[in-house]
Amino acid sequence: MTAPADFNASVIEEFRANHGQVGGGFAGAPLLLLHTLGARSGAPRINPMMYMADEGRYLVFASKAGSDRNPDWYHNLLAHPDARIEVGDETRSVRAVELRGAERDSAFAEQARRYPGFAGYQRKTERIIPVVALVPADGDAASDSRSGRTPS
């Protein structure tokens, strides 16, 4: 069995080599790389994840495959909501905002409709899987090739 860190590293490498496209379980799915800072350590972290585009926002789902615990990246965003994402070849600054109530329920239901595995994840756990909107920072232009520089 592949360790999660090794799996993530291979997905990140494939994502970057193929302009945001990967195969395997993510083939054909919208995927981004989420850059966070560790909630306690402050160390940089990168997690590949599926997202759902929503009127300029990127919705991500803290499913952790139906675990009874939220994923570390979720706790990282609560502690440090300003983050970055890679989508395709672009890097953007974002702010994380957790969706609540009917807005959360509607977004999760749509993701579960598109990708039934998410409905299965919810059935596996008693916790309500959080949905987080990654909202592009005001005035953030897409950065070039993950360099962190804004094009001139």
CATH code where residue 53 lies: 2.30.110.10
Residue 150 counted as domain residue: no
25 confidence band (pLDDT: 50, 70, 90): confident
- For residue 1, what pLDDT is reported? 56
Distance CA(60)–CA(54), nearest Å, equals 10
Residues 22/41, Cβ–Cβ less than 8 Å: no
Domain count across the chain: 1
- pTM, rounded to two decimals: 0.87
Helix orientation angle between 101-114 and 117-124, rounded to the nearest 10 degrees: 120
40 confidence band (pLDDT: 50, 70, 90): very high
Residue 94 counted as domain residue: yes
Mean pLDDT of the chain: 90
Residue 151 counted as domain residue: no
Share of the chain above pLDDT 90, in %: 82
- For residue 88, what pLDDT is reported? 95
Residue 145 counted as domain residue: no
Q: What is the mean pLDDT of residues 10-22?
A: 95
